[in-house]
Structures are given as C-alpha cells and as structure tokens.
Amino acid sequence: MSQIYQLAEVALRNGKQGQPSWLIIKGSVYDVSGFLAEHPGGADLLLEYAGKDASKAFQGAGHSAAAVRDLKQYKIGEVAITTQPESVSKQTLATESPKQTLDKSQKSFLCCC
C-alpha cells in the first residue's frame, strides 16, 4: 500500500528553507529533490511547482516515454482525496431544493420557547 499524504503536507515540501521538493502528478506524490540538478529543463522549472500539483505542466511539456517511465522512481505516495470533485458538488447543489419561505403559522411551530 502506498503512503498517503495530505495536500497541506505536500505544500510544505516546496524546496524552500531546506525543505525537499515534492510534486503532485495525476494524484501521485513525487520527491524530485535528487533530480533537480539533472532535470533537462533546469531546477527552476521543478521548483516552480514544488509543493503543488504539476499535472498540467507535466502533461503539457511533451515528455518522452522514457521520462514518464523514469518518473516512477521518484514516487513516494499518493495524495489524499479530501474533497469531492467540483462536478459532483455542483450536481448536488443543483438537485437540492431551494429554501422555502415560512408563513406565520409555520414560524410559530418552529419556535422553541
């Protein structure tokens, strides 16, 4: 079983003040601290995404199959799923009924005094 990390924990590993450099790519957490000097695009590019989700940047960079394969050696775990996807939340909100206005007789029924 893979180690599970909270988003806040990954965010602390941003390569600053002696912290390691962790990235999230497609839900997996990678410690790329040892790869900074070797990265063909330079360390600064990795540090820009350290402590963050770099999925879009990684996919958009056009990495080779070898780069994708080599990434696996830096995987240290998975990011915890702490919230529902936005599409689920919007769907739930859309199906909830709106609050109804209470008339005077209903208000007295709800009174606890």
Write the pLDDT tens digit of every residue in 27-82: 999 999 999 988 988 899 899 999 999 999 988 888 889 888 999 999 999 999 86
- Contacts of residue 1, defined as CB under 8 A and 6 or more positions apart, other chains included, come to none
Q: Where are the beta strands (DSSP E) in 12-100?
A: 22-25, 28-31, 75-79
The Cα–Cα gap between 34 and 71 comes to 12
Give 26 or 86, the one with higher predicted confidence. Answer: 26
Cα separation of 71 and 43, whole Å?
A: 15
Give every CB contact of residue 6 below 8 A, 6+ residues apart in sequence: 79, 80, 82
CATH architecture, domain defined by 4-81: Roll (3.10)
Q: Please tell me the predicted confidence (pLDDT) of residue 102.
A: 52
